[in-house]
Amino acid sequence: MEILIRPDAQAVATQAADILEYYVRRNATLGLATGSTPNPTYQELIRRHREEGLSFSQCRAFLLDEYYGLPRDHEQSYYTTIRREFTSHIDIEDSAVKSPDGTNEDFQAAVESYDQAITDAGGVDIQILGVGTNGHIGFNEPSSSLNSVTRIKTLHPQTVADNARFFDSKDDVPHHVLTQGLGTIQRARHLLLLATGEGKADAVQALAEGPLSAMCPASILQWHPHATVIVDEAAASKLANTDYYRYTDAHKPEGQPH
């Protein structure tokens, strides 16, 4: 796992966009996350599309997760959110942006066909991840099976509370979601986790320096052959080994890719 510490959220976004651009130029299949953390990265990619001609026309994208039971056109559905925040502003085909179907009454069919679609597409080349304050990734809450597939889950009350800011009230936050599993996520060839702000400092410390444990789902990055964590100073503030992370970042061998 490579840990890159950057001064602030904007510098995190620039670094993440540099890595993602490498994949976009190779017509990659992108794994996208919603939530607040990746938005500055999406804005930087949109800027590169508009000002530098970065084209996503040959890329495909799969979202991590979706609320179960929200209509697709609800402003907080992840189907709508990713279009509003990112994909409607670049030249990716709209039909190439896939997400679990949270409107399918047969949720088992919805999750199975989603994993199949990822497999049929040849897998995800690079998966963007945020992390919850409790260490969740996607909507795999603490105690999720480390090798789970896409499935329906019940949100932790902490996550409902965290996400209430996006809804009119806490009562409007759906309690169920369809999420890629920890096994599904680990099949992506490169995991790119972003975390910014002091509120993520405990989760970052746990995922990077704590045990590999279902109690911190993001700790699966320790087990993945190619994982990159980009954090700002605030999110890095509880890490113990920052001197080493900064040293390796400053002394990368010439030509070693991120």
The binding site for ligand F6R (CB under 6 A) comprises 33-37, 64-65, 130-132, 136-139
* Shortest Cβ 195–ligand F6R spacing (Å): 8
Write the burial class of residue 187 (CB in 10 Å: 0-12 exposed, 13-18 middle, 19+ buried): middle
The H or E element spanning position 42 is helix 39-52
> Between 66 and 125, whose beta carbon lies closer to ligand F6R?
66
* Shortest Cβ 15–ligand F6R spacing (Å): 16
Residues in the chain: 258
> Between 203 and 246, whose beta carbon lies closer to ligand F6R?
203
> Between 53 and 175, whose beta carbon lies closer to ligand F6R?
175
* Shortest Cβ 163–ligand F6R spacing (Å): 7
Write the burial class of residue 256 (CB in 10 Å: 0-12 exposed, 13-18 middle, 19+ buried): exposed
> Between 85 and 125, whose beta carbon lies closer to ligand F6R?
85
* Shortest Cβ 7–ligand F6R spacing (Å): 19
Which of the residues are catalytic? 65, 134, 136, 141
| Whole-Å CA distances, 124 to 23, 39, 233 | 11, 20, 29
| Whole-Å CA distances, 116 to 63, 108, 113, 150, 180 | 14, 12, 5, 10, 12
Residue number with the smallest Cβ distance to ligand F6R:
130
